[in-house]
Amino acid sequence: MALQKTLSLLLLSLLMLLWLGLVQPSYGETMYQRFLREHVDSTGTGGNSSYCKKMMQEREMTRPRCKRFNTFIHEDIGTIKNICKTPQIPCKNGKMNCHEGEVRVTDCRLTARFRGNCRYQGRGSSRRVVIACQGKLPVHFDK
């Protein structure tokens, strides 16, 4: 009886985390961890096509398909988390958990794919970005 109650509580906890969006079932990583993997490179300066090809492969965005577009932010995580403290603005999906700030980025755009080889054009700049936050953590790159 105690085991059944424990399992029920664990299942309920997992469902609650999924509902809150704090766990991504696909990779077993949280939305925050996925945001870090896909969008944060605080040590790099990026800005070119070879950077994009390397990073997109290393960060697992070329399998099973080439991701068409991705942005890497070249700021430390503290700077990115500070964006979550700015006033809320609407996200593309209409939710009100987005925030904007100016950061250094590299935009990677897919230009060709041939036999599993993804080719990207990279462009570095400083620009305004919009990220969705849950609490104090960035969880989605909106635009």
CATH superfamily assigned to domain 29-141: Ribonuclease A-like domain (3.10.130.10)
The set of catalytic residues is 39, 140
Q: Where are the domains of the chain?
A: 29-141
Average pLDDT over residues 9-29: 54
* DSSP conformation letters of 25-77: TTTS--HHHHHHHHHB-TT----SHHHHHHHHHHTT-SSSS--SEEEEE-S-H
Query: pLDDT tens across 124-143, in order?
Result: 999 999 999 998 999 999 98
Average pLDDT over residues 103-110: 96
Q: What pTM did the predictor assign?
A: 0.78
